[in-house]
A and B are shown apart, each in its own frame.
Chain A
Amino acid sequence: MYEKLWNSHVVAGDPAGRALIYIDKHLLHEVSTPQSFELLRTNNLRLHRPATQLAVADHAVPTRVRTLPLPPGLAHDQVALLEANCTEFGIELLPLEDSRQGIVHVISPEQGFTLPGITLVCGDSHTATHGAFGALAFGIGASECGTVMATQCLWQNRAKTMRVKFNGILQPGVSTKDLILALIGKIGAAGASGHVIEFAGSVITAASMEARMSLCNMAIEAGSRTGLIAPDDTTFNYLHGRPRAPEGSLWDDAITAWRKLPSEPDAQFDQELTIDSSNIGPQVTWGTSPDQVGAIDAPVPDSSGGSSTEKARAYMGIEAGRPLEGLPIDYAFIGSCTNGRIEDLRAAAAVIRGRKVASGVTALVVPGSGEVKAQAESEGLDTIFRAAGFEWHNSGCSLCVAMNGDLIPPGQRCVSTSNRNFEGRQGPGARTHLASPATVTASAIAGCLADIRKTV
């Protein structure tokens, strides 16, 4: 499938073996683009196709209180700059007061901006998310954002391919978040470096679009350039009728083309891996890289993993040999482009069943978009969360990245549905444990890292 996506977007080649790849769509957010627009201005360049761009502010926006206009400060200025740039260059922006606002990787599929068969880029590494639709989607730097805006093209080296099949039957309480964490643990944070991972197998075929997105979202944490999943009826049903999806006869034409995208049965991959999902229990990271991960009931490894293991344990304040289960937590975070979609919130709410967040634990739910928030509220999920003692926020990146006012204090421990447990990611000195929405909720209630299988 990667080959098909690649071949259908080659504009030209160069002697160095690279290909100039046509970029169909570009998502913009406030953080990665100020300098891209500057690049356009400095070189006196115009936008090649403004209609292929969509902008939204998500990283820097406060989620706790959303009084508009934003209070004075850097975040206000950054969002205002995005607005001014979009106006100047004729790019559509979903404003903060719009219910369609949210995290780029949540709103784009929601609006039908993400489509199968396209190339899509964004100045954000988790652009891989959109691969769940059978799009070739990858994160780029700010300079490249400028290049795409001016030329609609990027030079790329062709990647190698890896197919990972998830077969078997998921244990109760286990989600695709656990699968991807287990995979990263198995192959390492650079295990798929230079590759594009295509996910397949019976578990993937049966998975919803939300679950597929969680999986592709984190493919890059294994070093992969992006994740891919073959589009099928689940994909088409999700997209049908979305605001920006093709309509009428164009929809029919598109479906016909999209059905030809999946890899042929005899397709060759540079690497293949088959995983029996039945053996995978709930996963939680213990270190400061997403590959420092294990099953909730497994012991934290000792220094046999090298010096980085020891350093990570020191930063995380965690001893070797003890299981993750039972480790006391201070914060619980449900949200982000990995797990901030409606299905994630439903999975979390289902764990609560009348119980309350443990005393001493601050727990928050941050919907991935205004639409997710509205949908959750119409289902009464906000009432369930609030009654249990969770904070209910406005949409944004929030605690996934400590730059919007939501912050974990130094030395405090947070169990989080986000995608990165790097040093300082949730605030200087903050300790992050990545896990699924169900595990995070069960842990919030228990006051410590908890095995969801014992509470479902």
Chain B
Amino acid sequence: MTKFSSISAHAISLPDDDVDTDIIYPARFLLITEREGLARYAFADRVSNGDKRIGADHSAPILIAGRNFGCGSSREHAVWALAALGVKVILAPSFGEIFRTNCANNGILAGIVAESRIAMLRMAADASEQLLVDLTSQTVSCKGEGVPFMIGEAERESLLNGWNETTRILSLYAQNIAHFEQNQRAEAPWLWASEAQKEYN
């Protein structure tokens, strides 16, 4: 994954609470098996109903969202579609949990901003002002005024270093995993029965 440290860009404000993954990426497009080129499906039903706030034709690298953004299903397509729109940072008072993890796994910064501070960011977004998001200091600022955001320590590290979680686990923790498995084989052998049989055969 590419490393992330800071970005200076325009933002879009989408203040609605509980924007779920069905809104971000309607289910019928889940039949698509690629992860690239999903931009035109982002918010597709809202766009076709005349809601032009965000979609394939209108987007920005920073999204100032509402409470519980990305709640609902685990579909990572929602994140891929946002990534395809060019979204790099999402700031909101809270997120759906799986959605937040999915963001981290795709190099998108999902930061939590206190409800009381988010109005200023919305105003800046609506006024088409540039926002500077800095991951090292965990602040987003506009015209010199800074607002802190929160992000998990691990996600921060991962974004800053551009790590791939999967290969990283394999290279750093293979021994721990082997050790765990050895113990579990002894303590819960029923979880290993089908593999044990194969080994004897």
Interface residues of A (CB under 8 A from B): 11-12, 14-18, 20, 22, 24, 31-32, 34-35, 38-39, 43, 45, 48-49, 51, 59-60, 74-75, 77-78, 81, 115, 117-118, 123-125, 139-144, 146-147, 150-153, 155, 157, 189-190, 193-194, 223, 225, 246-247, 250-251, 253-254, 257, 289, 308, 311, 401-403, 420, 422-425, 428-429
Which of A78, A155, A225 is the one whose CB lies under 8 Å from B33?
A: A78
> In the assembly, what is the distance between CA of A403 and CA of B73, in Å?
14
Given contacts A151-B170, A403-B27, contact A34 B98 (CB under 8 A): no
> Given contacts A251-B190, A422-B72, A423-B22, is CB(A157)–CB(B67) below 8 Å?
no
Chain B residues closer than 8 Å to A75, beta-carbon distance: 31
A115 to B193 alpha-carbon distance, docked (Å): 14
Q: Most chain-A CB neighbours within 10 Å: which of B28, B165, B190?
A: B190
State how many angstroms separate the Cβ of B25 from the closest Cβ of chain A. Answer: 11
Q: What's the least CB distance linking A423 to chain B, in Å?
A: 6
Chain B, 160-199, CB within 8 A of any chain A CB: 164-167, 169-170, 173, 176-177, 180-181, 184, 187-191, 193-195, 198
Besides the known contacts A152-B177, A308-B17, 4 further A-B residue pairs in the complex with CB atoms under 8 A apart: A17-B153, A78-B31, A140-B74, A423-B20
Is there an interface contact between B177 and A11, defined as CB atoms closer than 8 Å?
yes
Residues on the A chain within 8 Å of B87, using CB: none
| Residue B139 is within 8 A (CB to CB) of chain A in the complex | no
Contact A16 B195 (CB under 8 A): no
Given A118-B191, A193-B97, A246-B190, are A428 and B33 neighbors across the interface (CB < 8 Å)? Answer: no
Shortest distance from the beta carbon of B73 to any chain A beta carbon, whole Å? 5
Shortest distance in angstroms between A293's beta carbon and chain B's nearest beta carbon? 14
Q: Is the CB of A157 within 8 A of B152?
A: yes
| Interface of B (DSSP majority class) | helix
Q: Which residues of A contact B48 (CB under 8 A)?
A: 428
Which B1-50 residues have a C-beta within 8 angstroms of A? Answer: 16-18, 20, 22-23, 26-35, 45, 48
Q: Which partner residue on chain B sits nearest A156 by CB separation?
A: B101
Whether B154 pairs with A189 at a CB distance below 8 angstroms is no
Q: Are A35 and B101 in contact (CB under 8 A)?
A: no
B residues near A, CB below 8 A?
16-18, 20, 22-23, 26-35, 45, 48, 67-68, 71-76, 79-80, 94, 97-98, 101-102, 105-106, 152-154, 157, 164-167, 169-170, 173, 176-177, 180-181, 184, 187-191, 193-195, 198
Asked whether, in the complex, the Cβ of A150 is within 8 Å of the Cβ of B32, the reply is no
| CB closest chain-A residue, reference B23 | A423
Q: Do residues A60 and B101 form an inter-chain contact, with CB atoms below 8 A?
A: no
Give Cα A325 to B37, complex, Å.
45
The answer to whether B188 touches A257 (Cβ under 8 A) is yes
Is B184 in contact with A424, judged by CB distance below 8 angstroms?
A: no
- The closest CB in chain A to the CB of B36 belongs to A35
CB distance from A155 to the nearest CB of B (A): 6
Contact of B68 among A20, A51, A190 (CB under 8 A): A190
Identify the closest chain A residue to B18 (Cβ).
Answer: A289
Judge whether A11 and B33 touch: CB under 8 Å.
Answer: no
Assess the A424–B98 pair: CB atoms within 8 A: no
Contact A142 B31 (CB under 8 A): no
Pairwise interchain contact B101-A141, C-beta atoms closer than 8 A = yes
Which of B23, B169, B170 is within 8 Å of A422, CB to CB?
A: B23
Q: Does A424 contact B23, Cβ atoms closer than 8 Å?
A: yes
**Complex CA distance for A147 and B106, rounded to whole angstroms:** 13
In the assembly, what is the distance between CA of A43 and CA of B184, in Å? Answer: 28
Q: Which of B16, B30, B34, B194 is close to A403, meaning CB atoms less than 8 Å apart?
A: B30
Whether A51 lies near B195 (C-beta < 8 A) is: yes
A16 touches B22 (CB 8 A): no
Interchain nearest-CB distance for A8 vs B (Å):
8
Residues of A within 8 A of B20 (CB): 289, 420, 422-423
Contacts of A194 in B (CB 8 A): 97
The one of A34, A43, A60, A424 that contacts B166, using a Cβ cutoff of 8 Å: A43
* Residues on A with beta carbons closer than 8 Å to the beta carbon of B76: 32, 35, 123, 141-143
User: Chain B residues near A193 (CB, 8 Å)?
Assistant: 68, 94, 97
Q: A125-B98, A424-B23 are in contact. Are A24 and B191 (CB under 8 A)?
A: yes
Identify the closest chain B residue to A194 (Cβ): B97
Which residues on the A side are within 8 Å of B188 (C-beta)? 117, 254, 257
CB distance from A396 to the nearest CB of B (A): 13
Going nearest first, the 4 A-B pairs with the smallest beta carbon separation are A246-B190, A16-B153, A143-B105, A74-B31
Assess whether A81 is in contact with B22, with CB atoms less than 8 Å apart. Answer: no
The answer to whether B27 touches A425, judged by C-beta atoms less than 8 angstroms apart, is yes
Residues on B with beta carbons closer than 8 Å to the beta carbon of A51: 194-195, 198
Given A308-B17, A428-B45, CB of A140 within 8 Å of CB of B98: yes
Report if A223-B180 is in contact (Cβ < 8 Å); known contacts: A81-B33, A194-B97.
no
B71 contacts A223, C-beta separation under 8 Å: yes
Q: A34-B33, A153-B173 are in contact. Are A254 and B165 (CB under 8 A)?
A: no
Contact B68 A22 (CB under 8 A): no
Give the chain A neighbours of B177 by CB distance below 8 A: 11, 22, 48, 151-153
Q: Which of A118, A139, A247 contacts B74 (CB 8 A)?
A: A139
